[in-house]
Amino acid sequence: MRASAQGETLLQPEILTRVLAHTNTPTHQPTKPTNKPITNLDLTEREFEVLTAVSQGNRNKEIALHLGVTERTIKAHLTNIYNKLGVDSRAAAVSVAIQKGILLNN
């Protein structure tokens, strides 16, 4: 739990490698949120960006830097993601997102 609270991923390395295989490396350039729903779970594009970054093993601080927002904003997005997916951890959010087809499992 301590690792999760510090923004670290709890996925086993081999699972994380499979999850990351479908994503690109972050560019660390801020992007603008659109708040447009992208799934039937009503995740916004920004929440999807945060969830994708979490699946890549990025910490809150790294995600905040990449998106040009504060860590507190990332934590708020994660809370919304957890509520929408019905989970209470980063690893569970990624797992459910893969199961529901929100994130690809390559």
Tens digit of pLDDT at every position of the chain (106 positions): 555 556 566 666 666 666 655 554 454 555 555 444 444 568 999 999 999 999 999 999 999 999 999 999 999 999 999 999 999 999 999 999 999 989 887 5
Parent domain of 26? 2-99
Domain of 15, CATH number, reads 1.10.10.10
Residue 83 within a domain: yes
Q: How high is the pLDDT of residue 38? A: 47
Q: Is 93 within a domain?
A: yes
Give the chain's domain count. Answer: 1
Q: Is 35 strand, coil or helix?
A: coil
Domain membership of residue 105 (yes or no) is no
Residue 11 pLDDT = 63
Contacts of 78 (CB under 8 A, 6+ apart): 50, 54, 60, 90, 93
| Cβ neighbourhood burial of 97 (10 Å; 0-12, 13-18, 19+) | buried
